[in-house]
């Protein structure tokens, strides 16, 4: 017996066998990246940290041409730990330590801003380009199966040929799932472009960051900031209260009093990045209690991550397909 179009049909059969497994692998990763994108876009604390960095930079550079800046590239976040300070004292050897000290004195919860983004860590491990390519491959594969069914229906009937009888119901059953996955991937791609543009990156540039690299940058900065904050806290606990540091106190008072980093009543309603207000206009902020500092320090020491994303699902690629396996329950 000769099987018509054997190689094409084998491809269709392989596609049918792997489709559901691949969908169950891809969908959770799309969800992780989508959630991370939304968390990063909406994080009030991260925006306030960025505003604090801008305020610190403008305060330090107020007498130079670099003062009065309205923004900066996020890649500068990783350079802060390499920038030495001249008058910060032993507890503030770098600009990152200086920032950590300012945040600890104004609102310690900002140091652990990453706790508002429980999916960013997992998203930094997902290759978005690979996932989107996998979705596109599934969409193309479904079209090829549909085309093979159409070709088979036009051919001379072959005895006991059940290809169309098996594959036609399969196409009908999975079409909506593949279409939903395609729409989900397209929506995610749009969200990521919007996120990168929101934070000043060019998503269409060949030199622009990949989404996973962007998430990794935020994660690395968060880790470095928390480490610096712990070092500042521990150093200050060991040494006597410093003598007058006029330059430091002057800049700290300017930055800590700025409404971009003081805890204001309507902070949760601010969903856009804005340049710091004029230094002559100060918003009244609530005082930061000792409990806030203790909670932030405790959170940094134990590596707390609130609402951590659930573990990624077990891959089914090695499951033998037996229905007795719990993976199908």
C-alpha triplet 99, 102, 104: angle, nearest 5°? 105
pLDDT value of residue 262: 44
84 phi, psi to nearest 5 deg: -80, 150
Task: Please state, rounded to an integer, the average pLDDT across all residues of the chain.
Answer: 79
**CA pseudo-torsion sign 71, 32, 305, 84:** negative
Average pLDDT on 91-104 reads: 91
Token couple for 97: 């330590």
Please report the pLDDT score of residue 207 as a whole number. Answer: 87
When pLDDT is cut at 50, 70 and 90, the band that residue 269 belongs to is very low
Q: Could you give phi then psi for residue 94, rounded to 5 degrees?
A: -130, 170
248 has a pLDDT exceeding 70:
no
pLDDT of residue 197: 94
Q: pTM of the predicted model, to two decimals?
A: 0.74
Tokens, residue 140: 């193309």
> Which long-range contacts does 159-168 make (Cβ < 8 Å, 24+ apart)?
159/1, 160/1, 161/4, 163/9, 163/12, 167/12, 167/16
- Pick from 11-20, 154-163, 302-311: least confident: 302-311
CA distance 39 to 116: 7
Name the more confident of 293 and 15. Answer: 15
CATH 1.10.357.10 fits 8-63+71-264+288-302, yes or no: no
Instruction: Give the dihedral of Cα atoms 108, 110, 115, 117; nearest 10 deg.
Output: 180
In angstroms, rounded to a whole number, what is the distance separating the alpha carbons of residues 253 and 267? 20
pLDDT-derived band at 95, boundaries 50, 70, 90: very high
Highest mean pLDDT among 98-107, 233-242, 315-324: 98-107
Mean pLDDT of 275-299: 50
Structure tokens at 124: 């930094």
Residue 217 has pLDDT above 50, yes or no: yes
What pLDDT is attached to residue 278? 40
91 or 195: which leads in pLDDT = 195
**Runs of H (alpha helix) within 61-210:** 95-106, 120-123, 128-154, 163-198
């Amino acid at each position: 017996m000769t099987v018509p179009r054997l190689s094409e049909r084998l491809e269709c059969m392989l596609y049918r066998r792997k489709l559901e497994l691949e969908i169950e692998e891809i969908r959770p990763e799309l969800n992780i990246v989508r959630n991370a994108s939304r968390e990063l876009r909406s994080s009030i604390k991260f925006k306030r940290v960025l505003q604090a960095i801008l305020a610190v930079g403008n305060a330090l550079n107020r007498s130079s041409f670099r003062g009065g800046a309205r923004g900066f590239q996020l890649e500068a976040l990783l350079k802060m730990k390499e920038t030495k300070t001249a008058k910060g004292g032993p507890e503030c050897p770098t600009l990152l330590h200086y920032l950590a000290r300012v945040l600890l004195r104004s609102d310690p919860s900002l140091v652990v801003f990453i706790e508002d983004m429980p999916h960013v860590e997992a998203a930094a491990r997902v290759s978005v380009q690979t996932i989107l390519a996998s979705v596109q491959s599934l969409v193309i594969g479904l079209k090829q199966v549909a085309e093979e069914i159409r070709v088979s229906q036009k051919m001379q009937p072959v005895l006991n040929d059940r290809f169309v009888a098996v594959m036609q119901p399969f196409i009908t059953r999975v079409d909506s799932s593949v279409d939903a996955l395609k729409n989900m991937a397209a929506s995610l791609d749009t969200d990521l472009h919007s996120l990168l543009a929101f934070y000043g990156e060019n998503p269409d540039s060949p030199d622009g960051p990949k989404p996973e690299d962007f998430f990794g940058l935020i994660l690395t900065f968060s880790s470095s900031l928390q480490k610096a904050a712990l070092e500042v806290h521990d150093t200050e606990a060991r040494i006597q209260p410093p003598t007058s540091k006029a330059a430091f106190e002057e800049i700290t008072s300017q930055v800590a009093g700025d409404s971009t980093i003081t805890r204001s009543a309507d902070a949760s309603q601010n969903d856009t990045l804005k340049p710091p207000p004029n230094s002559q206009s100060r918003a009244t902020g609530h005082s930061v209690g000792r409990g806030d500092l203790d909670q932030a320090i405790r959170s940094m020491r134990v590596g707390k991550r609130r609402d951590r994303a659930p573990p990624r699902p077990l891959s089914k690629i090695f499951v033998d397909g037996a229905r007795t396996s719990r993976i199908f329950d």
